[in-house]
């Protein structure tokens, strides 16, 4: 593998990691780890895919400050996720 290609991939990965950490910090400002866990458990119990964690975290960052009820929060996230149900 060309060194410059490796360097570009490393830069992309570093930028993605930094952006995801910023997003995660924003989510944690408005939702506890317990609340995030409950949201993910409810999504999984409804057989909704949680594969796109970035999209789920973006929806949490948007809705967690506005919605205190976990069930309603899950509905907003399910809508943002496009309700990708598992087979």
pLDDT digits (tens, 9 = 90+) for 11-62: 777 777 788 888 889 999 999 999 999 999 999 998 888 888 888 999 999 9
87 pLDDT above the threshold of 50: no
Domains of the chain, each with CATH number or no CATH: 3-80 (1.10.8.540)
Measured distance CA(66)–CA(64) in Å, rounded = 5
85 pLDDT above the threshold of 60: no
C-beta of residue 25 within 8 angstroms of C-beta of residue 64: no
Output the pTM of the full model.
0.73
Give the CA count within 13 Å in the CB-facing half-sphere of 28: 7
Measured distance CA(16)–CA(13) in Å, rounded = 5
């Amino acid at each position: 593998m060309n060194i410059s290609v490796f360097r570009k991939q490393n830069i992309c990965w570093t930028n993605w990691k930094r952006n995801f950490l910023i997003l995660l910090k924003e989510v944690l400002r408005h939702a506890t780890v317990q609340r995030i866990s409950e949201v993910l458990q409810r999504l999984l119990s409804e057989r909704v895919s949680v594969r796109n964690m970035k999209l789920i975290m973006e929806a949490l960052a948007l809705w967690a400050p506005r919605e205190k009820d976990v069930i309603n929060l899950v509905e907003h996230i399910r809508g943002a996720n496009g309700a990708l149900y598992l087979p």
